[in-house]
Amino acid sequence: MKILIATGNPHKLQELRHILPAKSKCGVPLEYVSLADFRDLHLPPETGTSLEENAATKALYAARQTGLPAVSDDTGLEVEALNGAPGVHTARYAGENADTDENNRKLLSALEGKLLPERAARFRTIACFATPQGEVCLFEGILEGFIGFGYRGSNGFGYDPIFLVEKGKKALAELTETQKNKISHRGKAFKKLANQLLSVPAK
């Protein structure tokens, strides 16, 4: 059984292939393909009002266009002091064409003067499994933490250098990839999705 991982990001593809099962409990082999196998397929833009909507839109579109079950995800950073912002706008917090540094600096500026307990935040990932027939299953993964006071560490990407875990002792960018994957919000969401794939029945 082929399943489309609806991403063009080779790092995410590799990560998910390690998480998702090679076969179901009934012994059905599961083969994972990516957008690289469908050069003419372009996912719709993330214009939804929620992570759930964005993840479902991408997975459903990919499934219907290819005729394969598809998985996709969307992730948001939610800061309590900012009423859950940047949330669904996480990737473009500082503007449509903003880069990672601009997003990070805007967030640090928005929290200027606040102490660590006032900087509580969480990463939330919604993973979606969709079929060409329109079936949709959503799975949530959450990583709690705090927004730091500046950049720390050289690993990771995005908000990792300013997102603190372990009760504020370390930034995600200070963890190894293995350490990060053990607590990752994306990992948690896709491990739940993996359980769904394990239940694929034998034909």
Q: Is 74 a catalytic residue?
A: yes
As given in the structure block, the two tokens for residue 76 are 């948001």
Q: Which residue has the tokens 């002091």?
A: 81
CA nearest neighbour of 131 among 56, 203, 188, 192: 56
Structure tokens of 173? Answer: 């960018």
Tell me which H or E stretch contains 34.
Answer: strand 31-34
Helices marked H in the chain — which ranges? Answer: 10-19, 51-66, 100-110, 177-183, 185-198
Instruction: Extract the tokens encoding 156.
Output: 């990771």
- Active-site residue (options: 74, 99, 101, 160): 74
Pairing of strands 2-5, 70-79: parallel
Q: Centre a 10 Å sphere on the Cβ of residue 50 and count the other Cβ atoms it contains.
A: 13
Nearest residue to 141 (alpha-carbon basis) of 85, 169, 180, 101: 180
Beta carbons of 29 and 23 less than 8 angstroms apart: yes
For helices 10-19 and 185-198, the axis angle rounded to 10 degrees is 50
| Residues noted as catalytic | 74
